[in-house]
Amino acid sequence: MSEIKAEVVLYTTPWCPYCVQAKRLLGAKGVEYKDVDVSGDQEMRRKLVAMSGGRTTVPQIFINGEAIGGFDDMNALERAGKLDPMLAVAP
């Protein structure tokens, strides 16, 4: 993989298995990310729904400010060979 330059933010809860999988995939790639725990913050959850285009589930993953969806969406990008190029772009 090329050098990682992107800013990655994950909005998660501690008990979410998809959040764990997303963190595991990014960790395996050596991606540093900001993890925002939204489990006890209803105001942040409301903001997250707006930021993610109406999605109410976690994780919600943002690369350089762009909502890419949840773990399944990120994993689909990975399988299609599209995740690494996204991660190589600086914000």
Q: What is the pTM of this model?
A: 0.94
> Does residue 1 form part of some domain?
no
Inside any domain, residue 59: yes
Provide the residue range defining the domain that includes 67: 8-87
3 within some domain: no
Confidence grade of residue 4 (pLDDT, cut at 50, 70, 90):
confident
Asked, as a colleague might, if the bond just before 59 is cis with ω within 30 of 0, I would say yes
The reply to whether 2 falls in a domain is no
- pLDDT band per the 50, 70, 90 thresholds, residue 2: low
Q: How many domains does the chain have?
A: 1
CATH number at residue 80: 3.40.30.10
Token digits of residue 81: 């060979």
Q: Does residue 47 form part of some domain?
A: yes
Please write the tens of the pLDDT for every residue from 57-88: 999 999 999 999 999 999 999 999 999 999 99
Q: What percent of the chain has pLDDT over 90?
A: 93
Contact 61, 69 (CB under 8 A): yes
pLDDT of residue 71: 98
